[in-house]
């Protein structure tokens, strides 16, 4: 228990003012841009998010521009940033903000929570940073700071532990300046209170930290046991028809929703790669292909599983396309390829083909 919360706040903010990183979203008071940055940062490292943030707000400088854009344009701007539901939700939320809130991002937490993709963290961050509301935030960094300071040894993912952390975050809020306080807490976790080898001698509140006193910093937070990560073989095909090839659009919900891809799917047990490819093409598109040739194989890791993508090329042989799974299809030229947002594994395969100068696919 911290007996002098004012001292904690004073030290934390003094450290933050001196050491906080000069990040682009900290130089603006525009609620829209703060919202965009917080969505990007929710599951992305700062170094990666920064370039995307600059490009995204140049392309979509306000909520009206984002709402008026096509989903394809938004997904293309988000390409390779991952967790694509964030981009889909931003797009949907922008349209709700325009339709329901007159194009002005709402200030109140209750209104923010109505927007797609906005949960307690995003609403707390935007409310406190953009509008100065006295509301807490708890992200991974704050979790780590508070489990160590308060010596919380219960598994961090448990509902009761999460509730305790949010209550602690609310209790620690100063009477004013919640936005700076929240950002300072997150910055402390990002720069000092690291997951391993935390820089405790540099911490402004180290003498208030129970984990530091007990020398158990790296034992906290307590996480559940790790699960084994499954692996899947996946086949996909560049299907040529004259000088054009086929791409299909994934449904808007679910993994990689709203992205274009080369058609294909998972390999079932005891299937060969070619037989799996032929089955997937018939099931998803109801067409036949011939002259099948494998081009490259690439590996890619998602959060909860890994894949090896085996990319083939073939020729369209006949049949009328009937979609069973994809939302849409296009026949495009190689020159049009970069206009569409593709999953990272597809992009890796394309890059490998170009680097190895395997031009037979073009």
Q: What is the pLDDT of residue 358?
A: 53
CATH superfamily entry for domain 5-219: Hypothetical protein; domain 2 (1.10.340.30)
- Residue 355, pLDDT score: 75
Domain residue spans in the chain?
A: 5-219, 231-361
CATH architecture of 231-361: Alpha-Beta Complex (3.90)
pLDDT (0 to 100) of residue 360: 54
Q: Mind giving me the DSSP string for 268-306?
A: PTT--HHHHHHHHHHHHH--EEEEEEEEEEEEEE-SS-E
* Strand ranges inside the chain, DSSP E: 231-241, 244-249, 260-261, 264-266, 288-301, 306-318, 328-332
- The answer to whether 60 and 39 have CB atoms below 8 angstroms apart is no
Report pLDDT for 357.
Answer: 56
| Positions marked catalytic | 38
Q: Phi and psi of 246, rounded to 5°?
A: -95, 135
Region 300-308: what's the mean pLDDT?
93
Tell me whether the CATH fold assigned to 5-219 matches the one assigned to 231-361.
Answer: no
Describe the crossing of helices 46-59 and 31-41 by its angle, rounded to 10 degrees: 140
Query: What is the pLDDT at residue 74?
Result: 97
Task: Identify the band that residue 303 occupies on the pLDDT scale cut at 50, 70 and 90.
Answer: confident
- Across the chain, mean pLDDT equals 95
pLDDT (tens digit per residue) in 88-120: 999 999 999 999 999 999 999 999 999 999 999
């Amino acid at each position: 228990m911290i007996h002098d919360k004012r001292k904690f706040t004073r030290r934390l903010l003094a450290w933050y003012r001196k050491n906080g990183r000069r990040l682009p979203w900290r130089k603006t008071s525009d609620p829209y841009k703060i919202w965009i940055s917080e969505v990007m940062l929710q599951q992305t490292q700062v170094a990666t998010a920064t370039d995307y943030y600059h490009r995204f707000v140049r392309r979509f400088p306000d909520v009206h521009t984002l709402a008026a854009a096509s989903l394809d344009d938004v997904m293309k701007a988000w390409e390779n940033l991952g967790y694509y539901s964030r981009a889909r939700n931003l797009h949907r939320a922008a349209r709700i903000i325009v339709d329901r809130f007159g194009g002005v991002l709402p200030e109140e937490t209750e209104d923010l929570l109505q927007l797609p993709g906005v949960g307690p963290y995003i609403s707390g961050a935007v409310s406190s940073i953009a509008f100065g509301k006295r509301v807490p935030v708890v992200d991974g960094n704050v979790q780590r700071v508070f489990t160590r300071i308060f010596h919380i040894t219960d598994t961090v993912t448990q509902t009761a532990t999460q509730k305790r952390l949010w209550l602690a975050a609310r209790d620690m809020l100063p009477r004013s300046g919640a936005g700076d306080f929240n950002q300072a807490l997150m910055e402390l976790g990002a720069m000092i209170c690291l997951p391993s080898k935390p820089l405790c001698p540099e911490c402004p509140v180290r003498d208030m930290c129970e984990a530091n006193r007990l020398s158990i910093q790296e034992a906290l937070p307590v996480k559940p046991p790790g699960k084994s990560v499954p692996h899947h073989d996946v086949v996909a095909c560049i299907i040529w028809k004259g000088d054009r090839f086929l791409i299909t659009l994934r449904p808007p919900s679910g993994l990689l929703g709203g992205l274009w891809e080369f058609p294909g799917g998972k390999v079932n047990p005891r299937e060969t790669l070619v037989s799996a490819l032929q089955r997937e093409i018939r099931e998803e598109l109801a067409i036949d292909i011939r002259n099948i040739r494998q081009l490259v194989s690439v590996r890619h890791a998602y959060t909860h599983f890994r894949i090896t993508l085996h990319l083939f090329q073939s020729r369209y042989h006949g049949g009328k396309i009937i979609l069973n799974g994809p939302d849409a299809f296009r026949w495009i030229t190689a020159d049009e390829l970069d206009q569409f947002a593709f999953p990272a594994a597809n992009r890796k395969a394309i890059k490998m083909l170009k680097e190895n100068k395997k031009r037979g696919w073009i």
